[in-house]
Amino acid sequence: MSRPLVLASGSAYRRALLDKLGVDYSCDSPDIDETRRDDENAEELVARLALEKAQAVAARNPNALIIGSDQVATLDDHILGKPLTHERASAQLKLASGRTVRFLTGLCLLDAASEQFQLEVVPFDVEFRQLRDSQIENYLQREQPYDCAGSFKSEGLGIALFQRLTGEDPNSLVGLPLICLIQMLEREGIDVLRGE
């Protein structure tokens, strides 16, 4: 690969996903205001933040291809943020019990040299089982997913919370839609299967 590839994120989850592609890349954490604008719906929010994260990192990496990503979980058009505490995680899972939560992941691939970018929002639906309070409490004690939108880790025990998963790419649920990213990289001349 002739051009540097930079992941605009400090997320260990996104790094682990990108590692699956076997491409050389570096990480550079963007420092942007992620506050939702008053007139912004969830899809607009994740698209804007994915682009702004890539643009912030592009300023420090002027010849690179920059990957920006942002994700929110929504229930009835209400955004579920990262719970950060046990109490909020419990409340989120009780609210999600027996219902479908939609995850929206904004993905941007920005050519820092030309400032041209590709931008997509990838949806993924999670239908939760009917959960008893004791199941929620046991899950939270075991996995403590307080830094995860929706209060679970699908790559771990969180899979036991679900009835059904619906979407094009299960990686998007973790925060980086790899199928879409591979297509974007190919448009920039990077074939991950050939290692170039």
**What separation in angstroms does the CA of 1 have from each of 22, 23, 108, 178, 194?**
12, 8, 19, 18, 10
CB 181 within 8 A of CB 107: yes
pTM of this structure: 0.91
Q: Is the pLDDT of residue 196 over 60?
A: no
Residues 19, 28, 39, 70: which is the catalytic one? Answer: 70
Host H or E run for residue 111: strand 100-111
The answer to whether 38 is a known catalytic residue is no
Q: What CATH number is given for 5-187 in this structure?
A: 3.90.950.10
**Domain boundaries in the chain?**
5-187
pLDDT at 85: 97
- Neighbour count for residue 59 (Cβ, 10 Å): 11
Tens of pLDDT along 138-171?
Answer: 999 999 999 888 899 888 899 999 999 999 999 9
What tokens were used for 148? Answer: 């995860």
DSSP state of 159: G
pLDDT at 195: 62
pLDDT at 3: 85
Tens of pLDDT along 6-64?
Answer: 999 988 989 999 999 999 999 999 989 988 999 999 999 999 999 999 999 999 999 99
